[in-house]
Amino acid sequence: MSNKVLIVIDVQNDFCPGGALAVDDGDAVVPVINALMGEFPHVVLTQDWHPAGHSSFASSHPGKAPFDDTDMPYGPQRLWPDHCVIGSDGAAFHPDLETSRAELIIRKGFRPGIDSYSAFFENDHQTPTGLTGYLRERGLTDLTLVGLATDFCVAYSALDAVKQGFSASVLLKACRGIDLAGSMETMMGKMRDAGVEIN
């Protein structure tokens, strides 16, 4: 039991209705996650945390619009509306999210030139956030991932978790997705193929 950890991905105002990159029904996960926290001995939260002018923002690329693709030195990158700007209200956790149980809050995407969907590695798949070391050192091996968005930060985190040798399970009742150009189906397939348990 003590090796189980609930990893709550990006339950922030900008991903909830009214936010800059709102996920449909995103705030519906909040009461579900709050209740789940009582069932886990350990809780980690992640926070998408971008400097103003971040390279994942369409506004930083003249001629590009939100949800366009671009090529970055590390590979293709989807461009987003400005969101989760460091210190802004949009970057804050949803006000009803229970945060007191969190033993670690890991921030990601703070390097201006690189995005980070995964809680483990930035989008170059090489720059670590430090989460692997934290979990290993604490013997936390059994991960349950929930939050926003299912087909981006939750899925990338779950795929990296398995790659890093953790057991990873995604609880869909506590997730909501963006679903851009079939991304939900694609990422659900990738998670299944990689051995992520989906419940």
Catalytic center residues: 10, 108, 153
CB-nearer residue toward ligand VGL: 10 or 98: 10
CB-nearer residue toward Zn ion: 48 or 151: 48
161 forms part of the interface with ligand VGL (CB under 6 A):
no
44 forms part of the interface with ligand VGL (CB under 6 A):
no
Q: How far is the CB of 109 from ligand VGL (least distance, A)?
A: 7
Q: How far is the CB of 41 from ligand VGL (least distance, A)?
A: 25
Distance (Å, whole) CA 139 – CA 43? 13
14 forms part of the interface with ligand VGL (CB under 6 A):
no
121 contacts which partner out of ligand VGL, Zn ion, none, CB within 5 to 8 A by kind? none
Distance (Å, whole) CA 162 – CA 179? 22
- Helical axes 155-163 vs 183-194, angle rounded to 10°: 20
CB-nearer residue toward ligand VGL: 22 or 148: 148
48 forms part of the interface with Zn ion (CB under 5 A):
yes
CB-nearer residue toward ligand VGL: 16 or 43: 16
Q: How far is the CB of 180 from Zn ion (least distance, A)?
A: 13
SS (H, E, C) the chain: CCCEEEEEECCEHHHCCCCCCCCCCHHHHHHHHHHHHCCCCEEEEEEECECCCCCCEHHHCCCCCCCCEEEECCEEEECECCCCECCCHHHCECCCCCCCCEEEEEEECCCCCCCCCCCCECCCCCCECCHHHHHHHHCCCEEEEEEECHHHHHHHHHHHHHHCCCEEEEEEEEEECCCCCCHHHHHHHHHHHHCCEEC
Q: Which of 6, 29, 97, 153 binds ligand VGL (CB under 6 A)?
A: 153
Site string for ligand VGL, 130-149 (x = CB under 6 A): ------------------xx
Residues 65-84 that bind ligand VGL (CB under 6 A): 80
Residues engaged in binding ligand VGL (CB under 6 A): 10, 15, 48, 80, 117, 148-149, 152-153
